[in-house]
Amino acid sequence: MSQAVLRIAVQKSGRLSEDSLNLFKECGIKFDNGAGKLKATSSNFPAEFLFLRDDDIPGYVEDGVADIGIVGENVHVEVCKKVSEVKKLGFSKCRLSIAVPRGEAYNGVQDLEGKSIATSYPVILGNFLNSHGVKAHIHEISGSVEIAPSIGLADAVCDIVSSGGTLLSNGLKEVDVIFRSEAVMIGYPDMPAEKQNIVEQLLFRIDSVQRAKNNKYVVLNTKTENIPAIAKLLPGMKAPSVFPLAEAGWSSMHSVINENDFWQNIEKLREAGAEGILVIPIEKMIF
Ligand code: ATP
Ligand code: ZN
């Protein structure tokens, strides 16, 4: 019986590529993605990678040519393919915004009534305008949207923004965020059970990698009498581990803590008698 292999579509080169490939590598999945390759097979996980343009990925997943894929949520929503959103991945965060020439007033979406707006996202923009009962002319263009107002093609634009630098250098200002996006894993809705099973294994690994990224391993020394107070601040996955130091009356405590909680609790830890605090990254975290 042939063993099922999960076909995974990732962007060949662009803003999603590096983080997508890193995600699989952090999950311990090995493959060779040498320059110019269109396909790669993993040597240690039942998966095959297809390297494609991001816009084509939802279509390949809908057709079942790929079982899962990674795209920006903006592309997933825009292209309206029959695929399921399996998991948000937390990278390639950006927003889709309305921008107008810097000198122009903007008091709200009603100001777009009757205007012409250039965008590569006519579906998302159309939904936004409809939901506010605003009628505007959507001028669909596939790239360099931000120059449209300066060449007289449109009154406003609706484009992807991350820092806002490109808008600024084209004399535009961001006035309304209409959609927030991050990378998502999409999947073929009717996957056979054996492939679904591989997806579950993959999701399990992704969860443990993502959890590890948000947490740190903390090691500190303290006088033994301070252990109860410090344990309250560092509950860990179950309870902190406590080891005796080679000096009488002193102990070492080890625990896991969410990085944000760590920074919020650092002063309290020191007040409670923690010394020599080490904060160490965690590679994988499995409950
Ligand atoms: P392709 O050649 O594969 O069609 P592309 O030029 O359409 O690529 P990219 O610019 O690589 O696409 O962007 C891919 C996705 O990354 C976008 O759909 C969006 O979700 C996200 N993205 C776009 N711009 C940024 C940004 N400045 N910062 C972070 N993420 C972004
Ligand atoms: Zn694209």
Q: What is the CATH number of domain 214-281?
A: 3.30.70.120
Helices 17-26 and 193-214: angle between axes, nearest 10 degrees: 100
Q: Contacts from 166-169 at CB under 8 Å and sequence distance 24+?
A: 167/99
Which H or E element spans position 275? strand 275-281
Q: How confident is the model over 133-169, as pLDDT tens digits?
A: 999 999 999 989 999 999 999 999 999 998 888 899 9
Tell me, what's the pLDDT at 72?
Answer: 98
| Contact (CB, 8 A) for 249 and 223 | yes
Q: Which superfamily, per CATH, for 94-181?
A: Periplasmic binding protein-like II (3.40.190.10)
Q: Which amino acid is at 164?
A: G
CA distance 174 to 159: 10
Q: Quick check: do 6-90+183-212 and 214-281 share a fold?
A: no
Tell me, what's the pLDDT at 36?
Answer: 84
| Contact (CB, 8 A) for 178 and 125 | yes
The Å distance, Cα 75 to ligand 2 centre, comes to: 8
pLDDT band at 175 (very low <50, low <70, confident <90, very high): very high
The Å distance, Cα 280 to ligand 1 centre, comes to: 32
Tell me, what's the pLDDT at 2?
Answer: 64
Report the chain's terminal Cα–Cα distance, integer Å: 33
Question: Which are the contacts of 228, defined by CB distance < 8 A and separation ≥ 6?
Answer: none
Q: How confident is the model over 193-213, as pLDDT tens digits?
A: 999 999 999 999 999 999 999
* Ligand number nearest to the C-alpha of 74: 1
Q: How confident is the model over 245-272, as pLDDT tens digits?
A: 999 999 999 999 998 888 888 999 999 9
Domain map (residue ranges) of the chain = 6-90+183-212, 94-181, 214-281
Query: DSSP state, 185?
Result: E
Q: Which atom of ligand 1 is nearest to the CA of 181?
A: 20
CA distance 144 to 140: 11
Checking if the pLDDT of 1 tops 60, the result is no
| Contact (CB, 8 A) for 173 and 181 | no
Tell me, what's the pLDDT at 35?
Answer: 80
Q: Which atom of ligand 1 is nearest to the CA of 162?
A: 27
Q: Tell me what the mean pLDDT of segment 24-52 comes to.
A: 94
Q: How confident is the model over 267-276, as pLDDT tens digits?
A: 999 999 999 9
pTM: 0.89
Q: Which superfamily, per CATH, for 6-90+183-212?
A: Periplasmic binding protein-like II (3.40.190.10)
